[in-house]
Amino acid sequence: MVYEVISLILGIIKIYLYKLLNWNKISFKSIPKMNSTFKIAIKNKSRLVIGKCFRSRSNVNFRIYNEGIVTIGKNCFFNDNCSINCQKEITIGDNLICGQNVMFFDHDHDYKNNIDNYIREKILIGNNVWIGANCTILKGVCIGDNVVIGTGTVIRENIPSNTLVYQEKKIITKKIKEGK
């Protein structure tokens, strides 16, 4: 418990240092409650806007490049090891809950033409969305309001409001024959 309080205090100091060094790139409506292990890499004309009552646990990462814009609504929570990777735009509504290891990518490499180039498309996430652990949200996706995404799901297409989404997983078990 004491470690968590110390880490939170250090996280508040750290976010203000990031704000001081990137005064025109980072803004927040109230002090984000972030564990001291978070990281922000923000380059050029990129921006990070964090709404009121933002909370996170350990090792949350923001990588915002190439004039990317990340906007996070109010009352959002990111669990351990979540990562936002933005080169265009990621907009998150209010009351988002992210389980552990959730990743957002609004871009990927243009492997067909030039691996050094990127294909970029916006991500839009509505209000009251719960994303389970180990999910990946890919470029060009719009997720509606009141959506629950089950653990381990890769989202690569739009999800309408008021929807439960999950990937079915099948475990295959086969007996190994002895002597072969």
Which residues belong to the active site? 109
Nearest-angstrom CA–CA distance, 54 and 29: 9
Q: How many residues does the chain have?
A: 180
DSSP alpha helices (H): ranges in 22-159? none
- Name, in order, each residue with C-beta under 8 angstroms of 118's C-beta and a sequence gap of 6 or more: 66, 87, 107, 108, 109, 110
Two structure tokens written together for 60: 């949350």
Helix, strand, coil content of the chain in percent (nearest 5): 10, 35, 55
Q: What is the dihedral sign for C-alpha 24, 29, 31, 32?
A: negative
